[in-house]
Amino acid sequence: MLRNVHAEDFPPTVKEMAAMEKKEIKLQEMEVKNTESSIHCLAWKIRACLFQRATGKTSLFHEQIKTYQWVQCTTCKNWLHFECAGLTGDWNERDFFCGCSVILDIDKVLESVQAEHILIDSEIKDLERNLQSGNVFFNRMYLWKHRGLDPVLRQYYCEHITTFIDMMTEAIIQRLENILSVPGNGAENQQFILEVLLPEVVILWLQRSNNMCRYQAETLLMKTKSVKENDGDEEMTTEAKGTEKGSNILTDSQTAADWCQKTTFPGRVTFPKVLDMDNTEQTETLEAIKNWEDEHDDSSPAELLTFVFQKKEDYEKFCKEIMDVQNINIFARFEED
């Protein structure tokens, strides 16, 4: 019997997620021409914008914030909200860098640190207290307080909670449990630490130890696929090891997605839904592809593996690099008439 479990804590079905994603695409098409829309925030592309809409809905996160300050990356010329970049209101430096030009050996960084050195105890206590009181506002905490608002995004965040391997992650979780007294029952405490506190601790540590902006730290976290729910045996990886070994199309799709995240496109880019699926769903999709003989349309399994570009010029840029230069064969299309 399950006890102390909220109905909103159950993840959405694949059908529900697909329906919400379809609504989201239509909403984005309507607002992309609005220059004031948060859709133009660089963090929106990695689903980390603090002022994005709930998936498939018109309601915004953190609606109490009525005006936004923006900052432009000196290198790539893309824009971020101050809060999405991790800047404070009194920031007035001449240049800002989102991290697009930085090549970081993240594996070396992760291997060189121990759990007890991931922030000091007082920093972790301050972070937890600020999250609970609302002194700082981040999407994971917002979704924790507004359960059911965006199950698609909440599920996505739950799959990207740490950049570390399982053993290190367990050590960090144990440390968080030892130094904090989170309100709620035991199961809810554990869930709060996993969903909210752990990823926020990792992000803050990445920012402070590697001189990153929040957006860059979020990008690293989003690139890490959690396979913790499988059997607890597998490690975290930035190379999508959660998929079947030998599954070239998934590996190639992840490679292409990594390239897209480092590249500037004038229009919107929608990544293949298969990259956000768990192992079971990915296996089902690959099986469906093997038996697929019909044309490629919205209902075909190939659509789950397809990169969708709003603009033809972006699609052609993608094809030239990924298919011609890197010799990777994957599904891609564009929407522009």
Strand ordering across the sheet containing 306-309: 269-270, 306-309, 331-334
Residue 32 confidence (pLDDT): 66
DSSP H or E run through 161: none
Question: In terms of Cα–Cα distance, which of 76, 68, 72, 84 is closest to 36?
Answer: 68
Residue 216: predicted pLDDT? 93
d(CA 243, CA 225): 10
Q: What is the pLDDT of residue 182?
A: 61
The predicted-structure confidence for 125-143, as pLDDT tens digits, reads as follows 999 999 999 899 899 999 9
- Give the CA radius of gyration of the chain: 20
- Is there a contact between 319 and 306 (Cβ–Cβ < 8 Å)? no
pLDDT at 233: 40
Residue 126 carries which DSSP code? H
* Amino acid occupying residue 272: P
At 80, give phi and psi (nearest 5°). -135, 145
Closest by CA to 51, choosing from 97, 64, 20, 128, is 64
Q: What is the pLDDT of residue 218?
A: 93
Cβ atoms 305, 287 nearer than 8 A: no
- pLDDT in the model for residue 39: 84
Give the per-residue pLDDT at 244.
36
Give the residue among 39, 214, 242 at the shortest CA–CA distance from 140.
214
| CA dist., res. 15 & res. 151, Å (int) | 13
**Residue 84's pLDDT is what?**
94
Strands 269-270, 79-81: pairing is unpaired
Please state whether the predicted TM-score (pTM) of the whole model is above 0.75: no
> Other C-beta atoms within 10 Å of 168: how many?
19
Q: How far apart are CA 10 and CA 248, in angstroms?
A: 31
Q: Which residue has the tokens 């540590």?
A: 205
What the block records as the tokens of 31 is 């607002």
What pLDDT does residue 243 have?
34
Beta bridge partners of 309: 269, 334
- The pLDDT of residue 2: 43
What tens digit of pLDDT does each residue of 5-25 get?
A: 454 555 556 666 677 667 767
Which residues in the chain come in under a pLDDT of 70? 1-17, 20-21, 24, 27-33, 89, 181-186, 225-247, 293-297, 336-337
The two counts, helices (H) then strands (E), for the chain are: 13, 5
d(CA 282, CA 21): 17
